[in-house]
Structure 1
Amino acid sequence: MSLRLILAVLAAKLVMHISRLLGKGRGSSLPGMLALRICPDLLGHFENQPRTATIMVTGTNGKTTTNNMLAGILEREGYQVVANREGANLITGVATAFIRSSSILGRVRCDYAVLEVDEAAFTGVTKWIKPRLVVIINFFRDQLDRYGELDTTIKNVLAAVKQLPDSTVLILNADDPLVARLARESGYHSKFYGVRPVQELSGNVAYSREAKFCPFCGHALEYNIYLYSQLGDYKCTQCDFARPQPDIEAESVTTGVGGTTAFLNDDKNKWQLNLPVRGMHNLYNALAAFTAAYLLGVKPETAVAGLETYTPATGRMESFRYGSKQVVLVLVKNPTGFNQALSGLLTGEVEQDVMIAINDNAADGRDISWLWDVDFEILTRTPEKFKRFICSGQRAEDMALRLKYAGVSPTIIEIENDFSRAVDSALNGESGAVSVLVTYTALWPVEKILSRRAERMKQSVDYSVPSVS
């Protein structure tokens, strides 16, 4: 036991305590950052401490939700779990998660470590910690000024996977060709999950789809059905690359305002799932968590029960009540995620006000040109659903301009850069519901304002927002 390790843990725990006292959240990244400066090999000390296994979740959209769903399932089964539930998924957030659960001497008592890892940080984290399972959920364009081109991100994740032990198992999204390709390219044992592709599930948003060509022969991929973005039933007619048959597949899917219902099957058994959050993207998150739990030997009935009691983290379809109005807070960070949020708006049954807060800090991405890849035009197909659009944040004017070019009438677009006044305007409008869509650095201040003004419907742990999710 090195003195440097003890000092690092002590310093980090002190920072956590001070952060709570000052009301600055739980300190999800700064403690780990400080600890790693004092003891750079800190993570290596924690690598073998989970008694059973470490599971990592990586990809673009849905890491926090998938990670927390899986952690909740394992805890429901009676296991002790270390997890970075806040979404702090850089190496600093992973270090913080271990330190939070450790003794002063750096000893952790847990059965599993369930770690969300940013795709750009995956190489750095896996240098120190070797997971038994790696869950890869999807790949979409996200913050080009930080990640670079999508091909670069995929190549970096693949290179890191190839450095893991041969016993590592990959859990892959069968419906995303950018993910499914990793089974063949890595050569690792892989299990797949997916949604049975049927026409009634095909989305109506004009997505900017990423996977247009076969990664092996370069020929154009052909799709029978798109579920959303590049996820769907695909094949290459020039070689044998095609959507693999999932080991766990969702069928008979219905999704609406109240949540999502589906049957999960493994070719032998079926389990009904009533997920309390809406949207196809959340069904995929649940499928990933269920598949991981299934492979770890968790009883399927326990996994389903855990998913059915899932409570969203801050900004992940979080619900509030203001008088008689339902208010939903949603984090948006790239075109695909934003499109899914817009699809959710269309399921509303009453006229609503929509607040959109766009910042361009480093964690949001300085380049906001991605807003022009979002299908805001879909909002004009059912104008009766929307009373007003309140644009806020550092780039409120840019957001208002994008809505105008999408065909939204300027008479129902308001600009209010101040978050507090924007929230008040949205809450006190004449509509029957409010949707609040925000980027990273807008999420935490807007959530704090909402929590003071409105009643949180499903109480989630008061997590702070990480720099990157």
Structure 2
Amino acid sequence: MNLRLILAVLAAKTAMFLSRFFGRGRGSSLPGMLALRIYPGILKHYRHQARRGVIMVTGTNGKTTTSNMLSGILVRAGYTVVTNREGANLLTGVTTAFIRAGSVTARVRSDYAVLEVDEAAFPVVTRWIKPNLVVITNFFRDQLDRYGELDTTIGKVLEAIQKLPSSTRLILNADDPLVVRFAGETGYPSRFYGVRPVPELAGDAAYSREAKFCPHCGAEFMYSIYLYSQLGDYKCPRCGFARPRPDIEASFVQVGLNGITARVDDDEGDWKIELPVQGMYNLYNALAAFTASLVLGVDPEAALAGLKMYSPAIGRMELFAYGDKKVTLTLVKNPTGFNQALAGLIAGKSRQDVMIAINDNDADGRDISWLWDVDFEILAQRPDKFNFFICTGKRAEEMALRLKYAGVPVSALHIERDYQRAIDGVLNGRGAAAGLLATYTALWPVEKILAQRAERVVYNDSNRVSPVS
């Protein structure tokens, strides 16, 4: 019996209990941190305990949603799953997920482990846990002071994957050339998912397009259609590197106020996908989860049923009701994600009030210059959609300044450093809807206050996945 292992697990489980008992957080990272301090090699005791395998989801945006969608599908299909549902995706969060699911002797009885892993932490986590399947969502600029340039991040993930067994399978976004390159550069078995690039889905904003040049020969890409950011239909005119034909492709996409519908097909079937969430990016997340589930042998109809019942994780276009007012809470952490969140606000039919909470703590990234790459100008172009904007958080003044330079009238800008007063202000505005956007460390306190004042809309309680379900 390894006494250090037992001590590490007991300390972690005690920290989980105390965190929740005193309301000092969700106990998703601190327990793992304590366990690793006591016994740095604790993860080696969990590496082979998921009987049917380990799936890791990495990339810049969509990790939490994709991993939770896949976990929900697997649970609905009758499997038990270990997962870090709340988005704690560093080594500490992964460790916590296993400890929470297991016994004091570090034993876990589960079929699968579905782990969201931060792209910078991916090389560290994969030293201890070897995934059988890796899902890569996309790559965008994100927290340059922590990740460095995008090429550096991609290179580290690529190097880590190349160290995995050659039997490792990849699920790749066909519409992102920065992701597609992993198939050729690893040689691992790969399946692709994507959205059929048709003119009616084309985005016209030129902000935050990362992949301008071919990763193989350096020539400038030719795009026939951009869907958003660098995702679209691309081809290198010099070496021929191009968007592959997706194994799973969505077409006839309809984005409505109550969700998304589309047709998805492969060589063997054609199905209708229905999602109770908004945003083109959520369609990509669902396609990634659906493709992974098929690779794992889940019946397609069961997978689609799981997606239809998906409930968003905290801050992922999460829906609340404040009286008759529809309220959305969205995490924003980089230009591309922020642009998609703004597009979601504009897509709403109701005139609304908006609160934006910006922090610059370590988890958010100290450098907030990325705000100048966000297309806030679209807000000024649609004065019919918004009444006012409340800026809060540690960098409230800088956020208000960015909106001013974007053309938002100064009379519509308000600075309120106190979260409670900011939230009360936006909830009690005269708009028929309210949108709350927050960076990572602002998200949790904002969500806690919002949950006390408004009713969370839950699509299906049974799909809120527990650590082992």
Q: Bigger shift: 127-136 or 23-32? A: 23-32
Query: Which residues in structure 2 correspond to 1:306-385 (within 5 Å)?
Result: 306-385=306-385
Q: Which stretch shows the higher mean deviation, 388-397 or 147-156? A: 388-397
- Residue 393 of structure 2 is aligned to residue 393 of structure 1: yes
Matches within 5 A, 1:20-169: 20-169=20-169
Residue 177 (structure 2) aligns with: 177
- Structure 1 residue 459: Cα displacement: 6.9
- Report the residue type matching 2:304 in the other structure: V
Q: Which residue matches 1:263?
A: 263
2:467 — aligned with what? none
Contact persistence 1:355–1:392 (CA under 8 A): yes
- Offset of 1:256 from its aligned partner? 2.2
Partners of 2:327 and 2:444 in 1: CA distance: 16
What's the secondary structure of 2:181's corresponding residue?
Answer: helix
**Cα RMSD between the aligned structures?**
1.1
Distance in 2 of aligned mates of 1:408 and 1:26: 37
Paired with 1:267 and 1:205, the residues of 2 have a C-alpha distance of: 33
Deviations 1:36-78 (A, max 9, x none): 1111111111111111010000000010000000001000000
1:25 is displaced (CA, Å) by 3.2
Contact 1:313 1:460 survives alignment (8 Å): no
What amino acid is aligned across from residue 442 of structure 1 in structure 2? A
User: Once the two structures are aligned, what percentage of the paired residues are identical?
Assistant: 69
Question: Which whole-Å CA distance do the structure 1 matches of 2:358 and 2:175 have between them?
Answer: 30
CA distance in 2, matches of 1:393, 1:25: 18
Q: Over residues 167-220 of structure 1, what are the superposed CA-to-partner deviations in whole Å (9 max), with x where a residue is unaligned? A: 100110000000001111111111110000001001233322100000000000
Deviations 1:359-386 (A, max 9, x none): 1111111111000000001112221011
CA contact (8 A) 1:58 1:118 kept: yes
Q: 2: CA distance between counterparts of 1:189 and 1:12?
A: 37
Tell me the TM-score normalised to structure 1 length.
Answer: 0.97
Alignment of 1:444 with 2:455, yes or no, is: no
In structure 1, give the amino acid aligned to 2:77.
Answer: E
Structure 2 counterpart of 1:467: none
- Deviation of 1:393 (Å): 0.9
Q: Distance in 2 between matches of 1:397 and 1:30?
A: 31
CA distance in 1, matches of 2:249, 2:221: 22
Matched, 1:295 2:295: yes
Contact 2:319 2:326 in 1 (8 A): yes
1:79 partner SS: coil
**Contact 1:389 1:414 survives alignment (8 Å):** yes
Question: Is residue 205–residue 343 contact of structure 1 (8 Å, CA) maintained in 2?
Answer: no
- Is the CA contact 1:66–1:285 (under 8 Å) kept in the aligned structure 2? yes
Task: State the match for 2:413 in structure 1.
Answer: 413
CA drift of 1:460 comes to 8.4
Q: Is the alpha carbon distance of 1:443 and 1:459 closer, same or farther for their aligned partners in structure 2, counting shifts above 3 Å? A: farther
Structure-2-length-normalised TM-score: 0.97
Higher alpha-carbon deviation: 218-227 or 381-390: 381-390
**Deviations for 1:123-168, whole angstroms, at most 9, x for unmatched residues?**
0110011111000000000000000000000000000001100110
Question: d(CA) in 2 for partners of 1:349 and 1:206?
Answer: 25
Matches within 5 A, 1:181-260: 181-260=181-260
Query: Which residue identity does 2:97 align to in structure 1?
Result: A
Q: Tell me how far 1:257 sits from its aligned partner.
A: 1.7
Q: Residue 274 of structure 1: CA displacement?
A: 1.0
Per the TM alignment, residue 356 of structure 1 is displaced from its structure 2 partner at its CA by 0.6
User: Which position in structure 2 is the counterpart of 1:466?
Assistant: none
Distance 1:437 1:351 in 2: 16
Query: Is the Cα–Cα contact under 8 Å of residues 314 and 460 in structure 1 kept in the other structure?
Result: no
2:428 — aligned with what?
428
| 1:280 pairs with 2:289 | no
Distance 1:416 1:20 in 2: 29
Mapped to 1, the partners of 2:93 and 2:268 lie a distance apart of 39
Moved over 4 A (4+): none
**SS where residue 278 of structure 1 aligns?**
coil
Q: Partner letter of residue 301 of structure 2? A: E
Residue identity matched to 1:309: M
Asked whether the equivalents of residues 310 and 460 of structure 2 are also in contact (C-alpha less than 8 Å), the reply is no
- Residues 310 and 459 of structure 2 are in contact (CA less than 8 Å); yes or no, is this contact kept in structure 1? no
User: Which runs of no fewer than 5 residues in structure 1 stay unpaired?
Assistant: 464-469
Counterparts of 2:396 and 2:7, CA distance in 1: 45
**Unmatched tracts of structure 2, length 5 or more:** 465-469
Say how many residue pairs are matched: 462
SS at match of 2:6: helix
